[in-house]
Amino acid sequence: MLEILIAGGWPMLPILLCSAVAIAIILERFWSLRRKSVIPPTLGAEVREWARMRQLDPQHVETLRENSPLGEILGAALSVRLRSREIIKERVEDTGRHVVHRLERFLNTLGTIALISPLLGLLGTVFGLIEMFFAVMVSGVGDPLKMAGGIGQALVCTAAGLCVAIPAYFFHRYFRGLVADYVVDMEQQVILLMDELAAHAEPPPPPRTARTRATDMPAVLAGTGKS
């Protein structure tokens, strides 16, 4: 394996660097995007129970926001639970954009690696072919060993670029889809919480109506009698 990498020449260095970065991102995203750490299985039901029992003191909300990405979004909804549904929705959307941005961290880098790795392999192929042509110009076609070196570099670089790009692209699409699924599940939990808050909201005070004071009753009766 080492001999194959050496045969690829210096264009193998950026390809190997991209490979190391891609592996690090894939492992980090696998750890960070675990379902139980993004959407704890019982968190939504617990928060709705808090709303039902009116256990929504600031300490509960702050602990919830530090729990997980789902907890951060639910905490944002609870922080403005006394406002209208439109305001709650706006706060959830603002917080959700930041949460999704963190869930998609490093995915653009992984997609960039998937894009440039074949180009780096193609670059190595071009340099290998250039080296082969120079060897032909110097010694003619009578020395196949010099030609084989350029051809070998071209093939190794092409294969290495594809070996990095294919897994990087696969995991880039996989993590994108995983984040999209998490977003749908979090939206569902937020809708259930908003319905729970609306069902247990305190009724507004009755509107004030003009009433005749008891002290004014004699005057009213007197006026009636005069008529």
Is position 215 within any domain? no
pLDDT tens track for 37-57: 999 998 888 888 888 877 677
Pair 214, 146: CB distance under 8 Å? no
- Spatial CB neighbours of 124, under 8 Å, sequence gap ≥ 6: 8, 9, 11, 12, 15, 153, 154, 156, 157, 158, 160, 161
225, part of any domain = no
Residue 219 located in a structural domain: no
Are 69 and 103 spatial neighbours (Cβ–Cβ below 8 Å)? yes
Residue 211 lies in a domain: no
Task: For residue 153, tell me if it sits in a domain.
Answer: yes
**pLDDT more than 90, % of the chain:** 40
What was the pLDDT predicted at 227?
Answer: 43
What is the number of domains present in the chain?
1
- 14-40 residue pLDDT tens: 999 999 999 999 999 999 999 999 999
Query: How many other CB atoms sit within 10 Å of the CB of residue 10?
Result: 10
| Position 221 in a domain | no
- Alpha carbon 126 to its chain centroid, in Å, reads 38
Count CA atoms closer than 13 A to 130's CA, side-chain side: 7
Residue at 213 is within a domain:
no
Q: Which domain holds residue 51?
A: 2-199
pLDDT at 214: 47
What pLDDT sits at residue 147?
A: 62
Predicted pLDDT of residue 217 = 44
pLDDT at position 57, please? 75
Q: Of 51-65, 136-150, 161-175, 211-225, which range is least confident? A: 211-225
In a domain? residue 209: no
